[in-house]
Amino acid sequence: MLRTRPPHHVYEILRGASDEEPPRSFSVAQKRGIFREVLSMGLPSMSGFVVTSLYELVNMFWLAKIGAAPVAAVTMCATFIWVIAFPNMVVGMGSVATISRRYGEGDLHRTEQSIKATFLLKFCFGTAMGLIGLLLLPWALNFMGAKPDVYELGLTYGRLQMLVMGFAMTSYSVYTALRSIGQPRAAFWVQILGTSVNMILDPLLIFGLGPFPQLGIFGASIATSCAYISVVTFGCFSLAKHRSPVRVRWLHWPYPKLDELWRIIRIGFPAGINAMSFSIATSFAVKLVANYGTVIVAAYGMSYKVLGFGVAVIVGLGLGTGSLIGQFLGSRELHKAWLAAVLSIRLAVWIMVTLAIALLAGAPLVARLFFSDPAVLEPGIVILRIMAISLPFIALHLGAEISFEGAGQNVPPMILSIVHSWVMVIPFMYLAGTALNLGPVGLMWGWVVAHAFGGLAGLWLFQRGTWLKYEI
């Protein structure tokens, strides 16, 4: 499927960037060495995102005990939050390339400056978008077709999330900064902290256990908010310690410069457009699903979260690998960057194949963890099985994007994602579900076919190799 031996045109890129002749093929020892580095950077990040995704499943599990409406409300709120949080991707992807390259170059002064610039941008953008979100949330829930009970629950959950969006967006930069300076294990433990706060508070506040008040879906929102604030606080302390590879002195020189702020935005802007396009398309997908009622939205939301567990694994692996790719490109070791990317994509695909097989076989068991009502359980099993087929193709798509993002070349994956969302996902879902009148099952098959095309297109884009010679 994807060979470690670079194609001829990629080899010419590698040779043109080095004073020495790069290897035409890689030895077993070289592959093992780079694979160990991929695992060293990727596993802690992957584990952290698995834990975070596990919390989201647990959150969905507790809310499902209340009923289908809270699950549908959180599904719609999460979709809207990802739309307005597109600056998170702008700054996030710009910071991955900037921080990791500066660190790879050995310039600790500029690395510290980039970290400060990232945190400043994230908190300011997050706070501003959260305030805008407060105004738009009622309209967004109506647009996605929320029923009256789902609408009220969505407002209850979403308003607090809007108020803490500055902390929410900054929390992701804690992980990015630690990974980019070679501290993926520290990023993992910070994620463990945030997830633990969330998982402990969730049942206490949702059901009112012990001395805690019974707050239902608002309790879930409070738990999530406390987790974001904990991550940012602990992350800032971790980066300020003397033993940090890059000690960040938050209130002292060097201060963020305008050119560094602009560089991060410029590099990440295509990724932000990518994220916004994907999120808006997801909103349209939810709207298509909502045509079939709250029960189908709840089943879709459950399936999406379960698949999100696998996506989180790949995103975590990819973010660790993206930082590694940035470091290799910064030190002009392009052949190592190529090999790291190929091995990472291979690993991602095998992980997703394994998860897809597990979900195809275990869909009834997974669905029963969330729902006992046959009206929700039966469509949940069918939808989960269909959507699981797309997982290996999602791995190809995400793996390709991470390679470009690690290099800081975000325009090609932006174009790919926009085409994928608006030319494939939404039209295919509408065609199979609505135009051909195949209902929710057709809708989901359209989703799978679109992701298959998207994965193959991502693989083609990656193998062109243009990301290897991109300069920031």
Which residues are CB-contacts of 318 (< 8 A; sequence separation ≥ 6)?
42, 344, 348, 398, 399, 401, 402
pTM over 0.85: no
CB-facing half-sphere around the CA of 289: CA atoms within 13 A? 32
pLDDT at position 453: 96
Task: Grade residue 19 by pLDDT with cuts at 50, 70 and 90.
Answer: low
Q: Which of 268, 297, 339 has the alpha carbon at shortest distance from 99?
A: 268
Q: Evaluate whether 89 touches 272 at the Cβ level (below 8 Å).
A: yes
Grade residue 1 by pLDDT with cuts at 50, 70 and 90.
Answer: low
- Kindly indicate the confidence band of residue 18, based on its pLDDT and cuts at 50, 70 and 90: low
Give the separation between CA 363 and CA 354, rounded to whole angstroms: 14
C-alpha span between 147 and 145 (Å, rounded): 6
Domain presence at residue 157 = yes
CB burial string 337-357: b at 16+ within 10 A, e below: bbbbbbbbbbbbbebbeebbe
Question: What tokens appear for 437 in the block?
Answer: 């009148």
CB 53 within 8 A of CB 312: yes
CA distance 327 to 188: 20
Question: Reduced to 3 states, what is the DSSP secondary structure of residue 145?
Answer: coil
- Cα 174 to Cα 28, 65, 207, distances in angstroms: 35, 33, 31
Q: What percent of the chain has pLDDT over 70?
A: 99
Q: Using omega within 30 degrees of 0 as the cis cutoff, is the peptide bond preceding 254 cis?
A: yes
- 394 pLDDT more than 90: yes
Structure confidence by residue, pLDDT tens digits, 141-184: 999 889 999 999 999 999 999 999 999 999 999 988 998 898 88
pLDDT of residue 22: 76
Cα–Cα dist 206/153, whole Å: 13
**Each residue's pLDDT tens digit, 152-162:** 999 999 999 99
C-alpha separations of 370 from 303, 373, 384 in Å: 10, 9, 12
**Selected residue with higher pLDDT from 105 and 443:** 443
* Burial class of residue 292 in the structure, from the number of CB atoms within 10 Å of its CB (0-12 exposed, 13-18 middle, 19+ buried): middle
What's the structural domain count of the chain?
A: 1
Q: Residue type at 397? A: H
**Quick one: DSSP state of residue 467?**
G
Give the pLDDT mean for 13-31.
80
Q: In 24-67, which ranges are continuous DSSP H helix? A: 28-66
d(CA 122, CA 86): 11
CA–CA distances in Å: residue 167 to residues 157, 226, 268, 279: 16, 10, 19, 20
Residue 370, both tokens: 């969330």
- Assigned domain for 27 exists: yes
Q: What is the mean pLDDT of the chain?
A: 89
| Closest C-alpha among 96, 54, 98, 97 to residue 191 | 54
Confidence check: pLDDT of 229 > 80: yes
Give me the mean pLDDT over the 44-53 stretch: 75
Residues 6+ apart with CB under 8 A from 300: 75, 286, 289, 383, 440
pLDDT at residue 317, rounded to an integer: 84
Structural domain contains residue 172: yes
Q: Does a structural domain hold residue 291? A: yes
The answer to the question of residue 1 being in a domain is no
Sign (positive or negative) of CA dihedral 244, 248, 249, 250: negative
Q: Whose CA is closest to 111, among 98, 128, 129?
A: 98
Would residue 3 count as lying in a domain? no
20: left (phi over 0), alpha (psi -120 to 50) or beta: beta
248 within domain boundaries: yes
Task: Kindly report, residue by residue over 257-315, the tens digit of the pLDDT.
Answer: 888 899 999 988 887 888 788 888 888 898 899 889 888 988 998 898 889 888 878 88
Range of the domain at 182: 8-469
- Residue 44, Cβ density class (10 Å: 0-12 exposed, 13-18 middle, ≥19 buried): buried
* 111 within a domain of the structure (yes/no): yes
The 8-class DSSP code of residue 254 comes to S
